[in-house]
């Protein structure tokens, strides 16, 4: 109660002279401005969710890209055509999937660093958001994933070796962060420390790939158990022009949707593991190139010739408020709610329709375009957060640990939830969590600090000073303690139930509540510490 009274007094007494869009904002009361900024922040998070769906579709096309190799079978005189995947599953999980779901946090931290460039002190939004995001990834996302499998079904990690490597690098990332904040050069970051932080992301990639390929001396001698060769999602079908086409699954290794008019269909983020992989197909010499992959070839030609019409369709789809399915709803309240929700999404959908179709260049152009839009939203989020901190007096680290961490981690939650529902194992759902936490430190904090330390080194010959290093270090210690409790329960579930996710609903919900309580402990203790309450 005392804290609430203090908070209200801060809003009513202090005047914030900074504004975000219009100078007239200053004439409004702090309470009204705080409300407007919070609503704007929530709407930006809604935009992040909208662009993330398009980002994932482009990522699917990238990962499903295959290269065709042709061999001659001299005994039969036929041509053997093989489609080999360009991307390794483990590397795709770490680079595209984990990087993609963490890009909102990375963008926010990078923008925060660029805004503070030339100053000797680092900004607080970036590091606070990324440490808070790690806690959100580890606790609430595990809490969701453990209950989403069907009642009684169990989903376990099939490749323990890869998971242990990813888990090691994830924990080491936060140990390393504590070392450079409190042990090596207390409360300052040097250019060499920032460079080593980024460099360790390469170590993660090499070690994970070595474990996946079981390289001697560099991998843990653990085999894979019960992992389907392609990690195919349950009931997975290929959508071509909005229709299911099961017969062509073995031939088509790219997402070939011409539009997004599927009624109610959710893009399967994790179908990057569902393509049929290196497939063999024998055809006579004179038919090679025409019939080697007819469906794939036909759609590629159609997409190239009609790409403008596909792009135009994106804008038409963005203007649609009701689908055929929603028009058949008899419940007035439900239909009205759905219409209102679609109306709220329409501005974002129209804006994101400018992203080129993901059929172009295997999805790379749409991938980059989506990242640019995400960066733009992250910039707006940064300005809104600064405004909230100014009018309320709340420490920026507190906002970063709570609202920013939860809002920017929403893509991680969606990705892991879909994996836990549709994948036959728990590998992708849990790997996305651990890999995202590694990316948060090595890239999300490493790159911004590298930018600032490089500038300070060449211009001022000075390191980068961390203003609230003690509060950040305390949060790391709390994170270590609570994460041990989280991983211990996952191991216990493996020993008792035989799997990390799912199982009897009472036990699943009990585990979920336990994970959420760990997150609350982290948020409360970290917020009190950076606010000077403890």
Q: Of 50, 44, 48, whose CA–CA distance to 317 is shortest?
A: 50
Question: Using CA atoms, how far apart are residues 429 and 344, in angstroms rounded to an integer?
Answer: 30
Q: What is the mean pLDDT of residues 69-94?
A: 75
Question: How far apart (Å, rounded) are the C-alpha atoms in residues 280 and 257?
Answer: 24
**SS3 for 21?**
coil
By the 8 A CB rule, do 394 and 388 touch?
A: yes
The gap from C-alpha 193 to its chain's centroid, in whole angstroms, comes to: 26
Q: What pLDDT is stored for residue 105 in this prediction?
A: 82
Locus of tokens 């010959």: 461
Biggest CA–CA distance in the chain, Å, is 88
Could you tell me which residues come within 8 angstroms of residue 92 by beta carbon, excluding any fewer than 6 positions away? 63, 272
Position 85 scores a pLDDT of: 73
252: closest CA among 299, 209, 207, 218?
299
First to last CA, the chain: 17
Average pLDDT, the chain: 76
Tokens of 484: 């041990």
Query: DSSP letters of 108-151?
Result: HHHHHHHHTTTSSBPPSHHHHHHHHHHHHHHTHHHHHHTT-SPT
Kindly report, residue by residue over 18-52, the tens digit of the pLDDT: 778 878 888 888 888 889 988 998 898 888 878 87
12: exposed, middle or buried (Cβ count in 10 Å: 0-12, 13-18, 19+):
exposed
Question: What span, in angstroms and rounded, lies between the C-alpha atoms of 256 and 526?
Answer: 46
Residue 200 pLDDT: 94
Contact predicate 482/410, CB 8 Å: no
Q: Which helix (H) or strand (E) holds 17?
A: none
Residue 334 confidence class, pLDDT cut points 50, 70, 90? confident
- What is the distance between the alpha carbons of residues 253 and 295, in angstroms, rounded to a whole number? 10
The answer to whether the beta carbons of residues 193 and 180 sit under 8 Å apart is yes
Residues 361 and 58: their CA atoms lie apart, in Å, by 10
pLDDT band, very low/low/confident/very high, at 393 (cuts 50, 70, 90): confident
The percent of residues above 70 in pLDDT, for the chain, comes to 79
Spell out where 20-133 has E strands: 66-73, 78-85
For the record, the structure tokens of 335 come out as 């239909």
Q: What is the pLDDT, as a whole number, of residue 140? A: 92
Most confident among 60-64, 78-82, 494-498 (mean pLDDT):
494-498
pLDDT in tens, 257-293: 333 333 333 333 344 444 333 344 433 333 333 333 3
The answer for residues whose C-beta is within 8 angstroms of residue 383's C-beta and 6 or more apart is 20
Looking at per-residue confidence, does 251 or 188 come out higher?
A: 188
Contact 57, 366 (CB under 8 A): yes
Closest CA to 294 of 257, 256, 237, 268: 256
């Amino acid at each position: 109660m005392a804290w609430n009274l203090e908070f209200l007094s801060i809003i009513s007494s202090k005047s914030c002279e900074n504004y975000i869009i219009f100078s007239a904002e200053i004439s409004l009361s702090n309470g009204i401005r705080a409300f407007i900024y919070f609503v704007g922040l929530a709407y930006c998070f809604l935009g992040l969710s909208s662009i993330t769906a398009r980002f994932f579709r482009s990522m699917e096309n990238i990962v499903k890209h295959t290269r065709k190799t042709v061999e001659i079978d001299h005994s039969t005189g036929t041509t053997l055509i093989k489609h080999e995947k360009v991307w390794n599953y483990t590397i795709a999980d770490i680079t595209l999937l984990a990087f993609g779901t963490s890009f909102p946090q990375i963008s926010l931290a990078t923008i925060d660093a660029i805004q503070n460039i030339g100053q000797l002190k680092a900004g607080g939004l970036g590091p606070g958001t990324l440490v808070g995001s790690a806690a959100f990834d580890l606790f609430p996302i595990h809490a969701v994933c453990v209950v989403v499998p069907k009642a009684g079904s169990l989903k376990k990690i099939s490749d323990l070796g890869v998971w242990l490597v990813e888990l090691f690098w994830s924990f080491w990332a936060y140990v390393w962060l504590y070392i450079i904040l409190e042990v090596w050069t207390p409360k300052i970051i040097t250019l060499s420390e920032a460079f080593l932080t980024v460099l360790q992301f390469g170590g993660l990639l090499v070690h994970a790939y070595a474990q996946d390929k079981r390289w001697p001396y560099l991998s843990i001698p653990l085999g894979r158990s019960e992992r389907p060769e392609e990690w195919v999602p349950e009931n997975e079908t290929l959508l071509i022009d909005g229709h299911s086409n099961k017969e062509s699954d073995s031939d088509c290794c790219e997402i070939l949707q011409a539009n997004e008019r599927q009624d109610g269909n959710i893009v399967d983020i994790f179908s990057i593991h569902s393509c049929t992989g290196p497939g063999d197909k024998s055809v006579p010499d004179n038919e090679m190139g025409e019939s080697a992959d007819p469906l794939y070839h036909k759609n590629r030609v159609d997409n190239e010739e009609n790409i403008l019409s596909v792009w135009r369709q994106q804008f038409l789809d963005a203007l649609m408020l009701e689908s055929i399915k929603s028009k058949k709803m008899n419940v007035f309240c439900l239909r009205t709610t759905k219409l209102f929700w679609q109306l709220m999404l329409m501005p974002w959908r129209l804006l994101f329709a400018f992203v080129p179709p993901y059929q172009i260049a295997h999805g790379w152009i749409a991938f980059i375009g989506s990242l640019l839009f995400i960066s733009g939203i992250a910039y707006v989020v940064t300005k809104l957060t600064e405004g909230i901190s100014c009018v309320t007096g709340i420490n920026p680290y507190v906002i970063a640990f709570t609202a920013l961490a939860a809002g920017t981690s929403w893509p991680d939650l969606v990705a892991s939830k879909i994996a836990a529902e549709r994948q036959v194992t728990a590998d992708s759902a849990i790997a996305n969590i651990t890999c995202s936490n590694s990316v948060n430190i090595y890239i999300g904090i490493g790159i911004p600090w590298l930018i600032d330390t490089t500038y300070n080194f060449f211009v001022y010959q000075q390191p980068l000073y961390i203003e609230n290093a003690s509060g950040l270090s305390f949060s790391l210690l709390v994170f270590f303690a609570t994460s041990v409790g989280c991983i211990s329960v996952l191991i216990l579930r493996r020993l008792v139930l035989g799997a990390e996710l799912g199982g009897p609903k009472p036990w699943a919900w009990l585990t979920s509540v336990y994970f959420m309580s760990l997150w609350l402990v982290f948020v409360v203790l970290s917020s009190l510490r950076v606010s000077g309450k403890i």
